[in-house]
Amino acid sequence: MSRLLIASNRLPITIQPEGDGFELRPSSGGLATALRGPHAKGDGLWFGWPGDVSLATPEQRARIDAELVERRLVPIDLTAAEVAHYYDGFSNGAVWPLFHYSLDKVRLEAREDWVTYQHVNQRFAEAIAARTQPGDLVWIHDYHLMLVPEYLRRLVPGARIGFFLHIPFPAADVFRILPWREEVLRGLMGADLLGFHTGEYLTNFARSAAQVLATDLDVDVLRWADHSVRLGTFPIGVDAAAFAADSPEVDAELAALRKNTAGRRLILGIDRLDYTKGILRRLLAFERLLEGDQTLHERVQLLQIAVPSRESIDSYADLRKEANELVGRINAAHGTPTRVPVHFLYRSVPFEQLVALYRAADIMLVTPIRDGMNLVAKEYCAARTDGGGVLVLSEFAGAADELREALIVNPYDLDAVERTIGAALQMPEEERRLRMERLHARVLEADVARWHRRFVDELERVPVLPARNAVEGGRSLSEEVSRLREAPSLLVLLDYDGTLVPYAMMPELARPDPELQSLLGRLAARPGARVHVLTGRTPASIERLLGEQPVGLCAEHGYWCRPDPTRPWTVRVTGSLGWKEPVGALLADLAARTPGAFVEEKTSALAFHYRAVDPTLASARVHELRARLAAEARTDIELLEGSRVIEVRLPGVSKSIVAAALIADMPAGTAIFAGGDDRTDEDLFSALPPEAVSVRVGRGRSLARFRVDDVSAFRALLGALV
Ligand code: GDG
């Protein structure tokens, strides 16, 4: 088992002022509860905000830090301004309402919010990078930290990074409202594995990524340029055994509750006081029920527990006021001196009381207007070891996917909610038992431990890159460049597109500018140096661009090579090209039916380009192409997938083969420098001896020892070699 590093907005404990000192309390909420147990059993670290400790004296702080170290918790301290902008502002003022389809509550005005969100995400990434060891798994949680995967990937290119979203991922049309949609998607795409509660959220994400970033979905792998991310559904569970367990404390609470409700059926709601939880609509539906049956208040009581939440945000304070007014109205109209139909508690209750409430409740109302999963629904089913109770569940909670035996309801349809509560009150015992026994069994089996295991097992499948890519130890890039500058013999192997020049709209436009021409000229003129450009382009195409330069050219990934401008092109790989005709006909047929697609013919390959094709259609066509080629079971071709292009080529052509040959041509002890930006350059890197200096341009997991952000940074490195 690899070591697991967890990152979430909050640590599983919160530090609060208490008397003269500070006290550590367990944080509330589903995420902290879900991960606390496995963290305690493992040997990993947990990064997050510990709460406001700005007023602690140095001695108090030292004591707090010692306690955190003891529990393997790494604090990310936030200033009051950071909490206001990153947490209240961006996370809960913009992302939370947008992802829950509450468009009227989305706040996008404050420029500081987004800037601070980026800044805090960067701090998380730096803290994690500083503690990551080779082989570690990093698991980042939730909408507060959506940029951390990308930021961390930049700092630790080989890291194995998983991300889980605890809230819904909205439909693409809604997501696209976010002005920073592209940055957020790029951030998430830094991960190797992205987890969602339901298939719908996963599909929404994949569609948004296709529309905004032009990614391709291949079953469950999202490809973007040269980087691929696995998508998965991991519906979270609850600590079901804890809710199913008997204890004298729970029994005592239950007895007290039964005494108080004497004779009346208990309808229960338990939620954080949040506008997504549908509390107001639930109260309205209950009001209708009371209006329809004037004697009902004698027989039922609604207990709504609303746990205080995000009180510094206006919309939450407003909600509390509205809920109070509504409860007042209902109680005034339907209460009697001895009977109050709605009991509204604005606080949380201890665990034993929570379990007792679940067991006492004849009907549990879980009617959010949107909810990622909703753990309360699952906890209720787990607690019902007696097979009693009826769950009324919103179709807009992720839990509705699994808890099919609940009474599923549309929370916007007040009449339906009213009718459903009525039906729940009338439900015959046998049906009630049948439904609850199934629900109970399911939540016990699919519990939180299983959720944790499934995600971590999947993340563990991401391959560990060879140790020589580890960032720690060894010489820095600038030290390596200085060493190469002095080397008597130097071999420079370079990719072209994306490495020496940025990608252009059309390949013909990616011309070398004067700066690049002078750079290549100086490099090739350096005593003892040989420079080769290795590209996927055809000989004619690369020659048009670099033909005048005193460098070697290898085209079609090494099928063709031309060692210098005075020598002719020669073929480096043999093999029959008889497949080109039938495969060419297949590709032409596909392209004819796919607006925006075209086929490029090379000597050793045929490339199907679909950059301009509608993403859904493109993905269907790529599947079709793969299936049709697989059906022919050809052994004389291989597929190479690039950024919105799929190439069918002669097997055995690879930059690794040319690289090995070019290295063998040089005197022993030659220093090597190589740079590239895509999957074919990984072949190149794989052929290099360990002491070679390899540099990856841009994102993505890589075998390269070093990484630079973009073409201009790469050119600066080349400049430093001469
Ligand atoms: C987010 C997503 C997703 C509540 N009141 C008391 C209390 N609780 C506990 C419940 C439950 C947790 O808080 C609430 O979890 P939910 O899932 O209902 O809601 P969010 O906080 O919005 O959580 C949600 C979840 O993340 C996990 O992925 O399901 O969709 O929004 O565990 O028991 N616990 C105690 N007293 C209370 O009064 N002891």
When pLDDT is cut at 50, 70 and 90, the band that residue 466 belongs to is: low
Q: Scanning the structure block, which residue is given the tokens 């706040």? A: 107
Ligand 1 centroid distance, CA of 397 (Å): 13
CATH of the domain at 417: 3.40.50.2000
Amino acid at 432: R
- Closest-CA residue, ligand 1 atom 1, reads 166
- Reported as a single tens digit per residue, the pLDDT across 35-64 is 998 899 999 999 999 999 888 999 999 999
Please tell me whether residue 238 adopts helix, strand or coil conformation: coil
**Are residue 214 and residue 353 in the same domain, yes or no?**
no
CATH code at position 666: 3.40.50.1000
pLDDT at position 471, please?
Answer: 43
Residue 191 neighbours by CB under 8 Å, 6+ apart: 140, 149, 153, 161, 162, 163, 229
Residue 453 domain flag: no
Collapsed DSSP state (helix, strand, coil) of residue 646: strand
Sheet holding 407-409, edge to edge: 342-345, 300-307, 265-272, 363-366, 390-394, 407-409
CB 236 less than 6 A from any atom of ligand 1:
yes
- Does residue 382 carry a pLDDT above 50? yes
Report the alpha-carbon distance of residue 408 to residue 394 in Å, rounded: 6
Q: Which residues contact 530 (CB under 8 A, 6 or more apart)?
A: 490, 491, 492, 524, 552, 662, 666
520-527 long-range contacts (CB < 8 A, ≥24 apart) are 520/546, 520/549, 520/550, 520/551, 521/549, 521/550, 522/722, 523/492, 523/718, 523/721, 523/722, 524/549, 524/550, 524/551, 525/550, 526/490, 526/721, 526/722
Answer yes or no: is the C-beta of 385 below 6 A from any ligand 1 atom.
Answer: no
Mutate to test the pocket of ligand 1, among 8, 28, 143, 303 (most ligand atoms within 8 A of CB): 28
What is the predicted pLDDT for the residue at 129?
96
Residue 428 counted as domain residue: yes
176 vs 632, more confident = 176
Give the end of a domain, one of 210, 233, 256.
233
For residue 104, the SS3 value is helix
**Percent of the chain scoring above 70 in pLDDT:** 98
From residue 245, alpha-carbon distances to 40, 349, 379, 664 in Å are: 21, 18, 12, 69
| Joined tokens for residue 678 | 């895509």
Do 375 and 510 sit in the same domain of this protein? Answer: no
Residues 587 and 559 in one domain: no
Tell me the helix, strand and coil percentages in the chain, rounded to 5.
45, 20, 35
Is the shortest distance between the CB of 307 and ligand 1 below 6 Å?
Answer: yes
Q: Which atom of ligand 1 is nearest to the CA of 377?
A: 18
List, for residues 312-364, the tens digit of each pLDDT value.
888 898 999 999 999 999 999 999 888 899 999 999 999 999 999 999 999 99
**CB-based contact 400:368 (threshold 8 Å):** no
- CA-nearest residue, atom 10 of ligand 1: 376
For residues 506 and 215, give the distance between their C-alpha atoms in angstroms, rounded to a whole number: 19
Residues 675, 640 share a domain: no
Report the first-to-last Cα separation within the chain, whole angstroms.
46
Calculate mean pLDDT across residues 577-585: 94
Residue 226, pLDDT > 70, answer no
**Which residues sit opposite 599 in a β-bridge?**
608
Residue 227 and residue 330 in one domain: no
Coil, helix or strand for 676? Answer: strand
Q: pLDDT (tens digit, 9 = 90+) per residue, 282-306? A: 999 999 999 999 888 889 999 999 9
- Show which of 616, 631, 649 is a domain's final residue: 649
Atom of ligand 1 nearest to the CA of 31: 27
Phi and psi for 552 in degrees, rounded to 5?
-80, 150
Tokens 């996917």 belong to residue: 401
Which residues belong to the active site?
495
Judgement on whether residues 554 and 405 belong to the same structural domain of the protein: no
Question: Is the shortest distance between the CB of 304 and ligand 1 below 6 Å?
Answer: no
Of ligand 1's listed atoms, the one at least distance from the Cα of 305 is 38
- Please indicate whether residue 365, judged by its CB atom, sits closer than 6 Å to ligand 1: no
State pLDDT tens for residues 403-441. Answer: 999 999 999 999 999 999 999 999 999 999 999 999 999
Exposed, middle or buried, 190 (CB in 10 Å: 0-12/13-18/19+)?
buried
* H/E run at residue 442: helix 429-445
Ligand 1 centre from 206 Cα, in Å? 27
Interval between CA 375 and ligand 1 midpoint (Å) = 6
3-state SS, residue 242: helix
Query: Which of these, 555, 528, 565, 537, lies nearest to 658 by C-alpha position?
Result: 555
Pocket test residue of 163, 374, 378 for ligand 1, highest count of atoms within 8 A of CB = 374
Q: What is the pLDDT of residue 99?
A: 98
Total domains in the fold of the chain: 4
Helix/strand number for the chain, H first, E second: 26, 29
The rounded distance, in Å, linking the Cα atoms of 68 and 132 is 18
Q: Is 460 among the domain residues?
A: no
- From CA 87, how far away is CA 116, in angstroms rounded? 9
- Residue 468 pLDDT more than 60? no
> Tell me, what's the pLDDT at 465?
65
Give the gyration radius of the chain's Cα atoms.
31
Query: CA-based angle 312:318:321, to the nearest 5?
Result: 115
Same domain flag for 190 and 201: yes
Is 303 close to ligand 1, i.e. is its CB under 6 Å away?
A: no
Other Cβ atoms closer than 10 A to 386: 11
CATH number at residue 638: 3.90.1070
Sign of the C-alpha dihedral, residues 632, 633, 635, 638? positive
From CA 556, how far away is CA 640, in angstroms rounded?
Answer: 12
Instruction: Residue 278: give the domain boundaries.
Output: 240-448
Of 200, 253, 373, the residue with max ligand 1 atoms within 8 A of its CB, to mutate for a pocket test, comes to 373
- Determine if ligand 1 sits within 6 Å of the CB of residue 409: no
Residue 78 lies inside a defined structural domain of this protein: yes
Among 649, 670, 690, residue at a domain's last position: 649
Average pLDDT over residues 634-641: 89
Same domain, 551 and 613: no
Residue count (the chain): 722
- Band (77; pLDDT cuts 50, 70, 90): very high
CA of 364 to the centre of ligand 1 (A): 15
For 669-688, write each residue's pLDDT tens digit: 999 999 999 889 999 999 99
Q: Which residues pair with 638 in a beta bridge?
A: 649
The three-state DSSP-derived secondary structure of 467-533 is HHHCCCCCCCHHHHHHHHHHCCCEEEEECCECCCECCCCCHHHCCCCHHHHHHHHHHHHCCCEEEEE
Asked if 198 and 264 sit in the same domain, the reply is no
Pocket test for ligand 1, best of 167, 376, 380 (most atoms within 8 A of CB): 376
Kindly report the protein residue whose alpha carbon is nearest to atom 33 of ligand 1.
Answer: 376
Q: Measured from the CB, is residue 374 less than 6 Å from ligand 1? A: yes
Is there a contact between 622 and 610 (Cβ–Cβ < 8 Å)?
yes
Ligand 1 centre to CA of 698 (Å) is 39
Rounded mean pLDDT of 133-149? 96
Tell me how far the alpha carbon of residue 377 lies from the centroid of ligand 1, in angstroms. Answer: 10
C-alpha span between 235 and 212 (Å, rounded) = 26
Asked whether residue 491 falls in the same domain as residue 560, the answer is yes
Q: Is residue 469 part of a domain?
A: no
- Looking at the fold, whether 641 and 656 belong to one and the same domain comes out as no
* Strand 265-272, strand 300-307: pairing: parallel
> Is 662 contained in some domain?
yes
The pLDDT tens digits of the residues spanning 471-512 come to: 444 688 889 999 999 999 999 999 999 999 998 767 788 899
| Ligand 1 proximity of 305 Cβ (cutoff 6 Å) | yes
DSSP 570: E
Nearest partner of 697 among 470, 498, 482, judged by Cα: 498
- Tell me the mean pLDDT in the region 158-175: 96
Torsion sign across C-alpha atoms 89, 91, 92, 98: positive
Q: What percent of the chain has pLDDT over 90?
A: 77
Tell me the CA distances in angstroms from 240 to 165, 196, 207, 235, one per residue in order. 21, 21, 34, 14
Reading the block at residue 76, the tokens are 């990310």
Q: Is residue 468 part of a domain?
A: no
Return the closest-CA partner of residue 486 out of 516, 529, 521.
Answer: 529
Alpha carbon of 307 to ligand 1 centroid (Å): 10
- Confidence tier at 392 by pLDDT (50, 70, 90): very high
Mean pLDDT (the chain, rounded): 92
For residue 254, being part of any structural domain is answered with yes
Identify the pLDDT of residue 192. Answer: 95
Average pLDDT value for residue range 2-13: 96
For residue 13, list its beta bridge partners. Answer: 26
Q: Are residues 563 and 639 in the same domain?
A: no
Tokens 């949609």, located at residue: 181
Q: Which residue, among 236, 166, 228, has the nearest Cα to 201 in the 3D structure? A: 166
- Segment of 26-40, 153-167, 384-398 carrying the highest mean pLDDT: 384-398
* CA of residue 29 to ligand 1 center, whole Å: 5
Helix (H, G, I), strand (E, B) or coil at 256: helix
Q: What is the mean pLDDT of residues 54-75?
A: 93
Q: What is the mean pLDDT of residues 141-169?
A: 95
Distance CA 312, CA 192 (A): 35
Q: Long-range contacts of range 286-290, CB-CB < 8 Å, 24 or more positions apart?
A: 286/330, 286/341, 286/342, 286/418, 286/421, 287/326, 287/329, 287/330, 287/333, 287/334, 288/414, 288/415, 288/418, 289/418, 289/421, 289/422, 290/330, 290/333, 290/334, 290/341
